[in-house]
Every structure is written in structure tokens, then in C-alpha cells.
Amino acid sequence: MRKLIRPLFGADTLRGWLYAFFGAVLGLFPIPVATVVAAVVPREWAGVRTGVFLAAWAGGCAAAGCVPVARRACVRLTNRLLGTALPVPAADAGKQRVNRLRTAAWSLSHVVVGGAVTGLTGVLVMMAVGLPAVWGGGGGRINVLVDIDVARGAAGLWTVPAGAALLAAAGGASFGATALFRSLAPVLLGPRPDERLAALEAQMRRLAQRNRLAQELHDSIGHTLTASTIQAAVAKELMDTDPDGARRALTGLEETSRAAMDDLDHVLGLLREDRAPTAPALSLTDLHALVDRVRRTGTDIRADITGDLARVPATVSREAYRVVQEGLTNALRHGADRSPIDLRVAATVGELELEIRNPVAGRFPAPRTRQGQGVTGVMERVRLLKGEVSVGPAPGGTGWLLAARIPLRSAP
């Protein structure tokens, strides 16, 4: 019995009754307009006048749902009081005709059901309280829609269980209205199939954008930390013997760190605000600046850059820059101390070739297997561009070689 009664007076049912009460209150606003419209009909046509009043009142209730902001407001209120998890629609969703009609139907349903439940529960509660009260006062007559005689003494004891039953009926009406609202909400306020598909596509684009930003952040910060570590070590070695060289190394460290902080602030700002980047991404045209930063670490980098890099398609250019950046970072991290790095970038009409070669200290490092980072990230970038890539020991065991060939299909 307790399991049956508890839901009738639980917090969910009370919030459902409050939601119904809001609907009843909203139904009061169109009454003055409906009264004015019905007044046009002659009094002797009472039936027609009542019909016109009801039609005008229903039209006013439905019209409230046609306001563009009504849909978002209805969804938020429904989620808050009924505990539904409807996605809040986009700002322009309420302007679509089909959504206006659905929201209008919801508004009218909210008002009608809310008014009926509010009125019914009000009468039931009044009777549930009034019957035992009259009996306790010595009996008498009570009028709540109908006249009821309550006898004194044992003959009127029936009012106590009757009052309890009426309270349970009021709770049951609220419980039923809550269930009805929850079943109608996805139909009238939920997204349509095309809206769900558009939302899913937008979410996939956001996830892809965030993953790309995270990969670029990894590449940029990884390169900066490696270069900064080497510059700091160079400055430490030259501090006593070559103060000017140590000063240059520290200056390079400062510039590299500042550039990394700018990149970090930019990417974190994009991730925090969930918006698309507005600043141009680094590309192959920025390759010379990247080579200069590596040289400031004291590393001898022999760069052979040929071809018109500005004519490389933008997508290929951005990804190729990150490939070169990651390759140089790995060369600095795993290469022999102060060993030279050979970089070759050649852009032709139909193909882009990238090659980074360097001696390796000790054993050859194994490629990292974590998705989206290190060598694996390089391979993913090149393969997405329909290119070929190889990373491993150079022929003849002369060092480590990263070689990539990317087709330039969109090149003129």
C-alpha cells in the first residue's frame, strides 16, 4: 500500500502539479480577449456565443506558443519541473513553421490539462478537508458542487476514510497529469529527426575541431618544450666560457616560450569558448621561422627547401607544417648530442616531399603508439592526405629518417 501511495505525494508529483498550475495561470490571459470577441455575438445566441468564446480562448492559448522564444522557454520549464532531458533548441528553431505549430499544440495542451488538473485537485482537496471538518464540528451540510449531509457521531465517521480517498484521488490526478505531460513533451517539444541529425552533425564537427586543436597543441607545446630544454642546457654550458652565447640561448628560450604561451592561450581560448579559430593556422610558409627557432638551440640544421610553398593547398600546407614540426621535435629529443639535422622540403606541381634525417644516440627509439601523438600522429596526418609516410632507421643505419610524400591533387 505504501508503494502505491508514496508516488501520489512525492516530489515529482508535486512538481508536476506546479507545472499544471502554471498552465492554468497561462490560460487566464486570453480570457479578456476571448470575452471581447464573444461579445460581438448577440446574447440570444447563447450556444454560438459560448462556442466563439471557447474558440477565441483556445486560439489565444495556442498563439502564445507561436512566439519564437516560446519553444526554448517551454523546453527549459519542462526540463526543470518534469525532470525531462529535452535538448534546448537552437535560437532559430522556434521560427520554423512546423515547430511553431508543435509549440502551439503544446501550449494549448498545457493550458487545458493544467486547468483541468488544477480545478479538479482543488475541488478534491476542499472536499477531503471539508467533510471531516464538518463531522468534527458536530455534523451539518457541506456544499462543494453538490450538497452533502454529514451526520454527527458514529454515523458521520465515514468522512475520515472518504477524505483520505479524496486526497489520494487528488494525488492520482496530479500523478496522471505529470505522466501525460512527460509522454507528450518528446512528441511536441522534442527535436524532429532532421533536427537531431543536424545536432549530431554539429556535435561531430565540434569534436573533430577540438581533436584537431588538441593535436596542434600537443605538436606545438611538445616542440617548444624540447627546444627550450636544449636552449637551457646550451646556456648552462656557455655561462662561464661564452657569456654572449649563453645570452643568445636565453634570448631564444624567452622568444620560444613566449610563442608557446601565445599558442597555448589561443587554443585554450577556443576550447573554452567552443568556437572556430579565427587566427590563420601555421603553414609551410612559416617553415623558415621554425628552422630559425631550431637553430637557436645550437643545433646545426641543414635545410633544403625548394618549390613555391605558397601554392601548396592550404590543408596540405597546414598539416605538412605540423609533420615537419613533429619530425624536428623528435630529432631534437632523440638525436645524438649536437648532431646535425637534414631537412628537405620539395614542392612540385603534383607532389610534396618531406624528409628529415638525423643521427640517433644509442638505440633507435620505438614509435609511440598513443593515438594522435608523436610518430603515430605524423602517420595519421599524412594518410588523411592520401600520402605515404615511412618512419624508422635510415638505409645503411646512418640515422633516423622520416620521409613523406603527399599528392597535390588540387594544385594547378
Q: Domains along the chain?
A: 2-191 (no CATH), 198-407 (3.30.565.10)
Which tops the pLDDT comparison, 196 or 30? 30
Question: Cα dist. 366→307, 324, 327, 363 in Å?
Answer: 33, 19, 14, 9
Residue type, 92: D
Across the chain, which distance is largest between two alpha carbons, in Å? 113
Which tops the pLDDT comparison, 238 or 23? 23
Q: What are phi and psi of 128, to 5 degrees?
A: -65, -35
Contact 99, 187 (CB under 8 A): no
Contact 317, 277 (CB under 8 A): no
- What is residue 58's three-state secondary structure? helix
Cell numbers placing 343: 631537412
Name the strands in the sheet holding 301-306, side by side, starting at the edge strand that comes first in the sequence: 301-306, 341-347, 351-358, 400-407, 388-393
Task: Average the pLDDT over 246-273 and give the result.
Answer: 66
- What is residue 263's three-state secondary structure? helix
- Please name every residue paired with 247 in a beta bridge, in sequence order, or none if there are none: none
Predicted pLDDT of residue 366: 47
Identify the residue whose cell numbers are 501520489: 8
Q: Report how far apart the first and last C-alpha atoms of the chain are (Å, whole number).
A: 81
Predicted pLDDT of residue 393: 85
| Strand residue runs (E) in 110-197 | 140-144, 146-150
Contact 406, 412 (CB under 8 A): no
pLDDT tens, 81-106? 998 988 888 766 667 888 889 999 99
Predicted pLDDT of residue 411: 40
Q: How far apart are CA 352 and CA 349, in angstroms?
A: 8
How would residue 261 be classed by pLDDT, with cut points 50, 70 and 90?
low
Contact 234, 298 (CB under 8 A): yes
Predicted pLDDT of residue 65: 85
Task: Average the pLDDT over 379-391 and give the result.
Answer: 85
Predicted pLDDT of residue 395: 78
List b or e across 56-81, with b for residues whose CB sees 16 or more CB atoms inside 10 angstroms.
bbbebbbbbbbeeebbbebbeebbeb
Cell numbers placing 168: 489520494
Mean residue pLDDT across the chain? 80
3-state SS of the chain: helix, strand, coil percent to 5? 65, 10, 25
DSSP per residue, 93-130 = GGGSHHHHHHHHHHHHHHHHHHHHHHHHHHHHHHHHHH
Are β-strands 341-347 and 301-306 bridged in parallel, bridged antiparallel, or unpaired? parallel
State the number of CA atoms in the 13 A half-sphere of 205 facing the CB: 9
Task: Average the pLDDT over 303-330 and give the result.
Answer: 87
Judged against a pLDDT cut of 60, whether residue 412 lies above it is answered with no
pLDDT tens, 37-79? 988 888 888 888 899 999 999 999 999 888 888 888 999 999 9
| Strand residue runs (E) in 260-350 | 301-306, 341-347
Which tops the pLDDT comparison, 107 or 206? 107
Task: Average the pLDDT over 178-185 and give the result.
Answer: 93
Q: How far apart are CA 239 and CA 226, in angstroms?
A: 20
Residue type, 360: V
Contact 372, 321 (CB under 8 A): no
Contact 294, 330 (CB under 8 A): no
Contact 155, 138 (CB under 8 A): no
- Whole-model pTM? 0.53
Contact 86, 186 (CB under 8 A): yes
Least confident interval from 272-281, 326-335, 348-357: 272-281
Which tops the pLDDT comparison, 190 or 146? 190
